[in-house]
Amino acid sequence: MAKFRYIAKTRTGERQEGVLEAPDRRALLAQLGRAGLVPIAVQDVQPAAPAPAPAATKPRLLGRKEKPRRGWRYEKSIRSRVRMKLSELLLFTHELSDLLASGMTLGAALHALVQRKTGKAQDTIITDLRDEIVSGSSLSAALARWPDSFPSLYVSMVKAGEASGQLPGVLERLVRHYERAQAAREKVSMALVYPLIVTIVGLGAMVFMMTVVIPRFSAMFAELGGTLPLPTRMLIGLSNGLIHYGWALLLAILLGGAALRRALRTPAGREWKDRFLLRAPVAGSIIRANAFANFAHTLGTLLANGVPVLQALAIVENTVGNSIIAKAINEAKDRVTDGSTISRPLAQDGIFPRLFTDMLAIGEESGDMTGALEHIGRRYDNELDRAVKLFTTILEPIMMLLIAVGVGFVAISMLMAVFELTSGLNT
C-alpha cells in the first residue's frame, strides 16, 4: 500500500486535505469518489514497496491489481477497442465547455461528467481523462492517449487553448466545428436514404416476380402449347436461371463485393475511387463541395486558435476525406516555406477551383486569413446544399424510370405471350 496526500472538495464546495493509503492512484481516486469528494490534486507520500514474492507466484498473490506492471500493452489494447462516436464526442465537448465556462476547474468538471453513468464507451474515456488530469497531466496529453476518439485536430486545438489560457473558448469553437461536420454528413446521408429505399423495394419486387409470378405463368403457357414470343422466352429463361442458380449469383456478388472492398482499401484503389468520385457528374459536386467546405472550416478554426500554418495543413490533410485532395494539400504544404502564402501552391495542382484560391489570396493580402476561410466555408456550404438538392432531384426520377422499365418489360412480355396464345386458340 502507498500513501497519498490529497486535496479535494466536498459537494458543498469546502476544501478538504488529508493522507490516505491505497494500492495506486486510481484506487485512491475511486475511494475519494465513493466518499463524495471531488479530487483536485494527489501527491505521493510514500511509494509502495515492491512485493518480495517470487515471479512464479506474483500473479497469484497480487491478482488483477498488479496490471500496472504490464499496463502499457493492456491499456493500449483497451484504448484500441473503446472509442467515442461523433455524437458522443460532440456532447462531451459541449458539456465540458459549459462546465468550464461556469467557473468549474478542469478536474472538477471531468469528475462531474464521470458521475453521469451512461453505460457507453465515454464512461471509460472520461474516467481516464479525469485520472490523468488529477495526476498532473495536461488535457491535451490526456486526450492524445485516445487517438481513435480525439483526432489530431481536437488535440492540437486543445493544446493551443491551454497555451493561450482560452480553453473554454476553444471548446466552444470545437463544438461549432463538429456541429458543422455532423450537419454536412447528415445532408449527404439523407440524400441517399430515399434512393436506397426505392432501390431495395424495386429489387425486391423484381425478385418476387421472377421467382413466384413468372414460374406460374410459365407452367400455364406450357400447358397451352404454342410458340412464345422472344421477350417471353428470354424472361422465362432468366426466371429459371434465377431459381436454379440464384445462390451462385448471390455468392458471386458477395465475393465480388468483398474483393472490390479490399481492393479499394489499398492506396492505389483508394486513389482510383476518390478520383472517380471527383469526376462523377453529380456526385462529384457533392464530394468537392463537402471537401472544400471542410478544408476551409478546419483550417480557419486551427489558425484562429494559434496553430502554426504547416501543422494546421498537416491536420487538414488527414481530415479532408479524399486522397486526391489530401495529396494536393500535402504538395502545397511542401511548397509553403514562409508560413504565409497558401493560395499559390494550392492553385498549382488544379484540384482547388480558381474561385477558392482567389478568395484565399485576398484574405492573405488583407491579413484576415480566418475571415476569408470562414467566408469560403459558408460559400461551399451553400454549394453543398444545392448539390445535394440537385442530386436528389435527378436521382429520384432515374430510379423510378429504371424500376418502371423492369416492371414494364415483365408485363409486356407476359401480355405478348397471352395475346399470341389466345389468337392461336381463336384460329
Instruction: Return the C-alpha cell found at 338.
Output: 514562409
Summarised one tens digit per residue, pLDDT across range 284-309 is: 888 888 888 888 888 888 888 777 78
Summarised one tens digit per residue, pLDDT across range 351-382 is: 888 888 888 888 888 878 888 888 988 898 88
Summarised one tens digit per residue, pLDDT across range 73-99 is: 445 555 556 778 888 888 888 888 888
> Are 199 and 305 members of one domain?
yes
Q: What type of residue is 82?
A: V
Within 10 angstroms of residue 268's Cβ, the number of other Cβ atoms is 9
Among 179, 197, 221, give the residue marking a domain's end. Answer: 179
> Are 190 and 171 members of one domain?
no
* Mean pLDDT of the chain, nearest integer: 78
> Are 186 and 174 members of one domain?
no
Summarised one tens digit per residue, pLDDT across range 181-223 is: 788 777 777 777 777 887 888 888 888 888 888 888 888 877 7
- The residue with greater pLDDT, 420 or 58, is 420
Tally the domains of the chain. Answer: 3
Residue 415 has pLDDT above 60, yes or no: yes
The answer as to whether 227 is a domain residue is yes
> Are 232 and 302 members of one domain?
yes
> Are 194 and 315 members of one domain?
yes
pLDDT, residue 352, reads 87
Sequence-distant (6+) residues with CB within 8 A of 323 are 267, 270, 271, 274
- 203-224 as b/e: b if 16+ CB within 10 A: eeebeebbeeebbebbeebeee
**By percentage, how much of the chain surpasses pLDDT 90?**
2
The residue range of the domain holding 8 is: 2-69
The answer as to whether 395 is a domain residue is yes
List the strands of the sheet with 2-9, edge to edge: 15-22, 2-9, 38-46
> Are 49 and 170 members of one domain?
no
345 to each of 25, 294, 321, 335, how far by Cα in Å?
51, 19, 20, 6
Strand-pair partners of 39: 8
